[in-house]
Amino acid sequence: MLSALKKHIETLLVPDANGDNSARREHGIRLATATLMAEVARADDVLDVRELAQLSDLLRERFSLTEDETRMIVNDGLRESEQSVSLQGFTRPLHEALTADEKSGIIRMLWQVAGADGTLDKHEDALIARLGELLYVPRSEVLRQKHDAGF
């Protein structure tokens, strides 16, 4: 299952035979980002409606999505999060496809999701630190984003 999922994400981020990968790449980034955000929302074993609302708002804003597109990508991210057993299938393709600033932006969104319910659980904190490592975002940048999010 994990192997198939990792292959699916990587396929979305790799150019097709014609070299046209912009739509596929963008969908892969959206799905991987939504899945990581869902993981953070679920990290404290409570899928809070405020965190889900923040997750949706951030995805809609970041990727300029319609309400329907947002609902679909959030549902897909939640489903992938429930089925995944490893985060590397999502972080590795993002690391390879994104710039340092884009990866830092993802870390910022993760902190915003974690804080949407008004508290930062130790599991959310540890998960975001780990995701920063997997995305090769310097620890100092992860901490800066945490501070900027109000923690």
Select from 3.40.640.10, 1.10.8.60, 1.10.3680.10, 3.40.50.300 the CATH code of 2-148: 1.10.3680.10
Mean pLDDT across 13-42: 80
Q: State pLDDT tens for residues 87-127.
A: 888 999 899 999 999 999 999 999 999 999 999 999 999 99
Domain boundaries, the chain: 2-148
pTM for the full model?
Answer: 0.85
Instruction: Examine the pLDDT at 54 and tell me if it is beyond 60.
Output: yes
Distances (CA, A) of 48 to 3, 11, 39: 30, 32, 12
**Residue written as token pair 């990587």:** 10
What proportions of the chain, in percent to the nearest 5, are helix, strand and coil? 75, 0, 25
Q: Please state, for a pLDDT cut of 90, what percent of the chain lies above it.
A: 73
